[in-house]
Structure 1
């Protein structure tokens, strides 16, 4: 059982790892590397969008192109990845090099003017077809298409300007903010903390990404997703702020600002923010003084953007650590690097889960997972422990009367008492598609179906081990698809290790530009050529229905896993009745 007995928080836990010599405050080389990565990613992404598209409306609506312009003093990369035919011609030369020297200020003015012109033309294009859409659909379509011409720029400038323009809602000292980053587990930890605090009587705003079936899932207050009416009321205010102040904000920046407005309008007393990608330059990092920063785990993911080593990725995630505030770090992270990062940033304390809860002596052999010679811990139990430790730190801050440092101009209150029962119940919750177990009827037979967005090798290792631990006596059948930026070969090998033969696998391709196509997945692991796939009918629904038939016939467990982009269609095929974006929204969802 969890003890909530008062304890003393030391300034820093020393741990037993030496400090890494890499300084998180000197990242110039990493910034240069990130810029090069972004250019390569955008080019690859553009051509893959043309090659992979099999959605007829999307193929008719968009054309991919990319270009860049530079001056002798700086360069600005414009990613025009999916451009409506009607707009492409008018913009094809506007970003070309004119051979003239331009200052940074002049480039920023050009950028803002280009953004404004794009927005005007997109509005005109959408209004021509406006009778086909509801107001909500038209607004969300516009949001998804915001990135058509926005330059790919790393930094917080846009979100800082936008946050100020909207009245800085997250600077309210009456709101307790919990900021969560990590390679795996950040969504689960965010939900577990939010549910626990909701049970304790707080009004809790939760911002997560990506969504499974509906854009509105990203913004929740006390477990209720944002309504279409609230989106229609608040999203135009964000667009207007961008236009009035010349802010060329991106999809994620606008969505983050929308969440901030929604939480403020809902009078949320607590806000739990999950980062989108990385941390240091993530739009959620506009918050100045979270009550606690949490880093759940560090793994090799988004290496072309965040860096190609665990240490570089850790520094990016560690960017959410704030002066005068504590940071809690999960067990699967390079503590030496992150501890030094916390010290250099002036964090009030660096804590591991063991510092707060002690060693998990209650975890028995049944709670441990194995994969070959590896011994893994159950991800859900690990995430629950991280969440419990965070809640105890927050409560102890309140008991100790801790506030922010004097040089931070405002103070936040912290969390009052949360009972052991509330913490246990709250941390038992899981987000959708995190080892989500359901029973589906097929031909008068009940089939166990597991949905899990295990989308990278680290997460797949845990999924494979969890399946073997939970269903050791039953054969498994997989419906699986991945995003194109993952290690497809390793992912393919891991799912193959869970089945007796490749015919127990069904390879699918989501209708999203970031999804890996069938050819890429199969080329990465040639044994998958013997699996089930259909190049003529690439729909996820077809493979889910076929897999259900075979699973019912052979008494197998069906596992639907991989990219979040395949889950909405898969869930609908399995009979879920939940809010889902309409086709006219889904067809432009890849624009962001």
Structure 2
């Protein structure tokens, strides 16, 4: 079933399952870009403190069960299938007509309940207010990262309208963390929503660059000023680090967390497919990044252009695919320069989400041809060979445009 926002079906499904979401505490993370990184920072840090923790992020990368992690491991196939069957049986028995995302979310909650985790880090799927994950009456903390224009058909066509939907995760007397790099009008709208529901206190998370690579200085409420390093690339990670640290600081009211836990957690966080360099046998070094909307593409472009300036590669080879609903033109405008080569492909059908379609490659080719950019069509069977050709042509080769494409490529190339 395609996207159908609303909580009635989800609440009914969970009720018939015995409300598994009431067996653990939740940390909710919403926003447009950065949610996954923040969830991973918090999750890895909680594990550093030996706290039984679960993480639910979306969309899936390789297969649906990789959205569900517990205690440092992806949900086992056996547990996932057992919990999934239970959810499907209940859905059918009571006729709740849950969407695929609602079924997956309920399956995650069942897995967490089964595993006996104490706390979970929950990434909002779409928006916030009416998202299937927004079923917690008293989460430990609400985090809003960078908000941009995305899914306007569901969330509104202004940043303020989208912010209001994202702020729908706020709850009375629950601390709120907001990425301070957001547009001032977004921050103002989120503060207004927090005031309306009596949420708070509200913290604006910020970070300062240090002289050390991928290290930021963050001054959080009770921990004060400390440096935090991450293995994840990109200047935008500073804002994500700040949100993660602030949230973890707030969590000290509930868990025995200390600064070294956060420092080690952030340093050891892995989050595939985001400015992710991989050395592929028989192919060479390739940079993978989702970059599925304009704001994400701008951040990827900043990183790539730094490599250009360092003379790593003046021209770049790109392999791209986009979801049919995306504004591919604005993404390509942010990324591609004259002299670059673009290999255009399509991702395969998405398991559990048949309504998600890859954009027609010829549409992208026509657009690039008008801009006099060399564009080559690549079918699924020839992607690895095309990637090898791209790397031989340019030292910097980037695969981007959709996490669904990256999932295909990681599976084909046997990357973890």
TM-score by length of 2: 0.87
Q: Report whether the alignment pairs 1:346 with 2:198.
A: yes
1:262, 1:249 → 2: CA distance? 18
1:299 to 126, 145, 148: 148
Number of aligned residue pairs: 386
1:421: Cα distance to partner? 2.6
CA separation of 1:526 and 1:310: change in aligned 2, threshold 3 A = farther
Alignment of 1:199-218 (within 5 A): 199-218=48-67
1:378 to 218, 223, 235: 235
Alignment of 1:435-584 (within 5 A): 435-442=275-282, 447-470=284-307, 472-475=310-313, 476-497=316-337, 500-502=338-340, 504-512=341-349, 513-527=356-370, 530-534=373-377, 538-539=379-380, 541-552=381-392, 554=393, 556-576=395-415, 578=416
CA separation of 1:451 and 1:161: change in aligned 2, threshold 3 A = same
* Residues 379 and 462, structure 1, Cα contact 8 Å, conserved in 2: yes
Unaligned runs of 5+ in 1: 1-146, 369-376, 399-413, 579-592
Q: Report whether the alignment pairs 1:362 with 2:210.
A: yes
1:514: Cα distance to partner? 2.5
1:453: Cα distance to partner? 0.6
Q: Secondary structure at the match of 1:533?
A: strand
Structure 1 runs (4+) deviating above 6 angstroms are 363-368
* Residues 482 and 562, structure 1, Cα contact 8 Å, conserved in 2: yes
CA separation of 1:322 and 1:454: change in aligned 2, threshold 3 A = same
Q: Report whether the alignment pairs 1:251 with 2:92.
A: no
1:176: Cα distance to partner? 2.5
Q: Secondary structure at the match of 1:279?
A: coil
1:153: Cα distance to partner? 4.1
1:232: Cα distance to partner? 2.5
Deviation per CA, 1:266-310: give whole Å up to 9, x if none. 010110100111111000001111000101111000111111110
* Residues 368 and 375, structure 2, Cα contact 8 Å, conserved in 1: no
1:525: Cα distance to partner? 4.3
What residue number does 1:112 align with?
A: none
1:530: Cα distance to partner? 4.4
Q: Secondary structure at the match of 1:297?
A: coil
2:100, 2:276 → 1: CA distance? 29
Q: Secondary structure at the match of 1:293?
A: strand
Q: Secondary structure at the match of 1:474?
A: coil
2:11 to 155, 160, 166: 160
2:288, 2:109 → 1: CA distance? 30
1:481: Cα distance to partner? 1.4
2:128, 2:181 → 1: CA distance? 17
Q: Report whether the alignment pairs 1:325 with 2:171.
A: no
CA separation of 1:279 and 1:192: change in aligned 2, threshold 3 A = same
1:226 to 66, 69, 75: 75
1:557, 1:572 → 2: CA distance? 21
What residue number does 2:274 align with?
A: 434
Alignment of 1:190-205 (within 5 A): 190-205=39-54
CA separation of 1:240 and 1:440: change in aligned 2, threshold 3 A = closer
CA separation of 1:417 and 1:211: change in aligned 2, threshold 3 A = same
TM-score by length of 1: 0.62
* Residues 522 and 528, structure 1, Cα contact 8 Å, conserved in 2: no
1:570, 1:257 → 2: CA distance? 28
Q: Which has the higher helix share?
A: 1
The range that moved more, 424-433 or 522-531, is 522-531
RMSD: 2.3
2:215, 2:74 → 1: CA distance? 33
Unaligned runs of 5+ in 2: 217-233, 350-355
Q: Report whether the alignment pairs 1:423 with 2:274.
A: no
* Residues 176 and 291, structure 1, Cα contact 8 Å, conserved in 2: yes
